[in-house]
Amino acid sequence: SRLQPMRRLTGGRIDRQRGLRFTFDGKTYTGQAGDTLASALLANGVHLMGRSFKYHRPRGVLSHGSAEPNALVQLEQGGGLSDPNQRATVVELFEGLNATSQNRWPSLRRDVGAINDLLMPFFPAGFYYKTFMWPRAFWDRVYEPIIRQAAGLGRAPSRPDPEHYAHRHVHADVLVVGAGPAGLMAALAAGRSGARVILCDEQNELGGSLLDRGTLPAWAEAALAELTALPEVRLLPRTTCAAYDDHEHLLLVERVQDHLAPRERDPDQPRQRLWQVRAKRVILATGAIERPIVLHQNDRPGIMLGSAALAFAQRWAVKPGHRVLVVTNGSDGYRQALALNALDIEVPAIVDLRHAPAGFGPGEAEAAGIPVLAGHSVTGTAGRLRVEAARVAPIAQGIDAIWSRPRTIACDAIAMAGGWNPSVHLWCQGRGKLRFDEAIQAFVPSEGPAAATVVGAANGTFDLAAAMAEGAAAGGGGGELPELVPTTTSVGPIKVAPTDARRMVAFVDLQNDVQAKDVRLAVKEGFRSVEHVKRYTTTGMATDQGKTSNVNALAVVAAAEGTTVPAVGTTTFRSPYTPVTFGAIVGANRRELFDPVRTTPMHPWHVENGALFEDVGQWKRAWYYPERGETKFDAVRREALAVREAAGLFDASTLGKIDVRGPDARTFLNRVYTNAWSKLAPGRVRYGLMLNDAGFVIDDGTTACLADNHFHMTTTTGGAARVLAWLEEWLQTEWPELRVHLTSVTEQWAVAALSGPKARDILAQLTDADLGAQAFPHMSWQAATVAGLPARIFRVSFTGEVGFEINVPSDGGLHLWQELVRVGRPLGLSVYGTETMHLLRAEKGFVVVGQDTDGTVTPFDLGMEWIVARSKGDFIGKRGLERPDLKAANRRQLVGLVVDDPSVVLEEGAQVVAAGTDYRRTPVKIIGWVTSSYPSPTLGRGIAFALIEGGFARMGQPVWIPGPVSHVEATITTTQFYDPEGLRLRC
């Protein structure tokens, strides 16, 4: 039609009755329902869709799917909302779609950045590494701003995403990735057996490469109908398998509503859904990606893959051009040329890089009247914003150099058919190995995970009947396969631009503007590992992850090194397979749910009684309780003195709590803690220190023996989830023979920590338990009834006073708290918060892991060598503690600091120098820093902890803490400022 001049009058999987209006770079066009943005633009005769990243060269569509490296656009939603770097070949057209091109200014046709194309000789591989090293002073002021301005392609949105996203966690007996011929047969066979099957495909319809024909064969329609009817089969179109992780855990990203106009979207449905699938068996039918041919000037708009040219013509009824020159090195180029010719698209010639092509192709092409130029290559192309002609010349046999006698062939499109690369990305992510298949000149799956099977083109099987048979066998067999005519695929060696053509502009990686000569330069400059070549040249590092470039790049490296492609090897296939939106990754974990707020059962009381809160991990913890007119200092002083003189009540419900049970529970505790647990009797409690492999402290807490095989472990508030994950990792990966089960019970128990000289008197009013010092000694526990609630009472203390941690079921926590306050107020009870708790523990000399430790501190650095039981056997971190550097006398060790001026309270984090140091002249020798600091009302002075080099040997020595004006003088002491004998604790 006049509006879509390149649209064929018949055919295609489009709805010709439903036209859609859309805009591209501000100009309005029309397309049809079923179009992609790329096919609609091509139907309107638009081939120029973007500018290349580095040189700003004009670029058009190369492929017709997710492997597209060029046609990246920004989808504008208005008001600062947009989606950058969307592949036009994947974006489904909808009414009102508004897209803009990227990486150009002021317009796509007239881009100022195209000056980089003229400066190309000055921007070889490694240019940045060589140029921006000197002068060093230019980096911050000149180089970095320019690089940051030029980096990237699209623009990040300036407003929050209004859409919502969802996550699903499912299990499947069989997950089939790819709904082409092999995938359909695999899913059908598995579904017929009654297995729970998930079949996903990234396209909007199921059918895979069959869709590119424009119509599905009858057998495929029947297979889809049967799959739809099977109750245990879940079909997921528009769903990309993004990652294959350990133990058959795969991530699927479903584009639920991306194909709909914003006003048509269901507000109750997510825009995208992330599926986390755990499958017993995985069948990868991911197909293959056609390989471009590395030729001089092979990046002009209008130059595309042969499979893409044919798909646009058949599936979307769009002519890729009026005269399409086909360049090939195998039989597929002939099939594509014959199919295009049958659709009344002129094919002026087939340029075959092979000197003596055999098998299917040459005879059929000549019968159709298509000239065949065997042993020829394209030596260049003409045209500014779209290809207009190609120069073709014969290749000298035996060497890779172009002869004379070139000819010019007029064409407005070039279709390249350089063979096929099986899509092995997911296979390799799942730890699968590869081997190089000489017959198809590509890498195919070899050994891999036992639960995974690769079928069809992804396995290097390009015969349709054979691919379907592989799929059916992988799915469990069953049913008859349709009779199909066998096909054969032949391909010659991978061809690249001649090695002696220094002036040739032959692109290997179109998205990163990497040329063949860039790769050769990397090899010439000493880079031998393909991973190093990748990073030096940036080939294969963009959003397409080298889908159309990697194998050609390997061939260039092999030729430069005088070796073979399999000898070069492959780069790492990283996830995700295609880019994943942040929204899909985050799901519902955004805004108020990004970091959920956790509150204790006593939280309403804290709010009602004026508590100020601090965030500890995800918890809201009462910081202190100011009364009328009180400052923070006043409130903390009052709370601390109450604990020392009468009693204090603290909400300790946030402590991490892990239920440890099983026949090997004691063995497990012996391995995760530094001290011995074999003889801890039921009813007793022990303090434990947890290390990592290197011997550094990562957590601490008390653990109570509930029964011989049952323990109640506590952890720090912020470390609860991390510690549980750490312990589970050891149980599942290193000690699977241990019969131990771990259960997080942090939120099952509410905890009220009651301490002080009158704590026993207060608790006695609410329980019949014997709380006497002999019946209930320090570091023991009892089951009892408190305030009418079943409770576990732990005789432990973090304040240095007589203490009871009363654990009751969470739903009784508020009642317990209110009762303790009711009976305690007449005896002088004060509630206190975390600030007071930290002060009280500092007076007593107790360490807070995470505040007084920094990930490099050992038990010896804390003066806690007593807790390391060297004779009990192995434990995590034991070998790390034997390292000589962890025994060095000059390590930073935790000590106390007493400031000479009692009124001064040091700043936490302040640096410490030796007394007499001239700290105004740099460099200054820093011997440590302050980790904790508080004004102590009990001691009447400021106290502090510090990590000091060789601190234990410096006891009694003076140190200076430099300040902005002058320094503060202090003396190193022990960390036990209050009741060092522990008499008040045990009474």
Question: What's the one-letter identity of residue 575?
Answer: S
Spatial separation of the C-alpha atoms in residues 798 and 845, rounded to whole Å: 10
Q: E-strand spans in 311-395?
A: 324-328, 350-352, 372-374, 376-382, 389-394
> The tokens of 55 are what?
């040189």
Q: What is the mean pLDDT of residues 612-629?
A: 95
Q: What is the pLDDT of residue 325?
A: 98
Q: What is the mean pLDDT of residues 18-46?
A: 97
Three-state DSSP state, 8: coil
Judged against a pLDDT cut of 80, whether residue 836 lies above it is answered with: yes
Handedness of CA 964, 968, 972, 978 (dihedral sign): negative
698 within 8 A of 692, measured Cβ to Cβ:
yes
Judged against a pLDDT cut of 80, whether residue 485 lies above it is answered with: no
pLDDT tens digits for range 334-361: 999 999 999 999 999 999 999 989 889 9
Closest CA to 432 of 285, 253, 245: 245
pLDDT tens digits for range 748-788: 999 999 999 999 999 999 999 999 999 999 999 999 999 99
Which segment of 151-160, 381-390, 511-520, 879-888 scores lowest on mean pLDDT?
A: 151-160
393 within 8 A of 401, measured Cβ to Cβ:
no
Judged against a pLDDT cut of 50, whether residue 835 lies above it is answered with: yes
Spatial separation of the C-alpha atoms in residues 550 and 540, rounded to whole Å: 6
Label residue 143 by pLDDT band (50, 70, 90): low
> The tokens of 548 are what?
């159309």
Closest CA to 752 of 878, 577, 600, 888: 600
11 within 8 A of 339, measured Cβ to Cβ:
no
Label residue 499 by pLDDT band (50, 70, 90): very low
pLDDT tens digits for range 249-281: 999 999 999 999 988 999 999 999 999 999 999
Q: What is the mean pLDDT of residues 130-139?
A: 66
Label residue 497 by pLDDT band (50, 70, 90): low
Judged against a pLDDT cut of 80, whether residue 400 lies above it is answered with: no
Helix (H) or strand (E) holding 289: strand 288-290
pLDDT tens digits for range 543-580: 788 899 999 999 999 999 999 999 999 988 889 999 99
Between 309 and 511, residue with greater pLDDT: 309
CB neighbourhood size of 543 (10 A): 16
Spatial separation of the C-alpha atoms in residues 573 and 830, rounded to whole Å: 61
Q: What is the pLDDT of residue 359?
A: 87
Between 31 and 573, residue with greater pLDDT: 31
- Is 367 buried (19+), middle (13-18) or exposed (0-12) by CB count in 10 A? exposed
DSSP labels for 835-898? HHHHHHHHHHT---TTTT--SS--TTTTT-GGG--TTS---TTHHHHTSGGGS-TTSEEEEEEE
Judged against a pLDDT cut of 80, whether residue 396 lies above it is answered with: no
Between 573 and 643, residue with greater pLDDT: 643
Bridge partners (DSSP) of residue 417 are 328
Q: What is the pLDDT of residue 736?
A: 96
DSSP labels for 808-832? EEGGGHHHHHHHHHHHHGGGTEEE-
Label residue 395 by pLDDT band (50, 70, 90): confident
> The tokens of 956 are what?
């009694």
Q: What is the mean pLDDT of residues 458-482?
A: 90
Three-state DSSP state, 523: helix
Q: What is the pLDDT of residue 131?
A: 67
Judged against a pLDDT cut of 60, whether residue 891 lies above it is answered with: yes
Q: pLDDT averaged over the chain? A: 93
pTM: 0.81
pLDDT tens digits for range 927-979: 999 999 999 999 999 999 999 999 999 999 999 999 888 899 999 999 999 99
Q: What is the pLDDT of residue 392?
A: 94
Question: What's the one-letter identity of residue 825?
Answer: R
pLDDT tens digits for range 707-744: 999 999 999 998 999 999 999 999 999 999 999 999 99
Label residue 406 by pLDDT band (50, 70, 90): confident
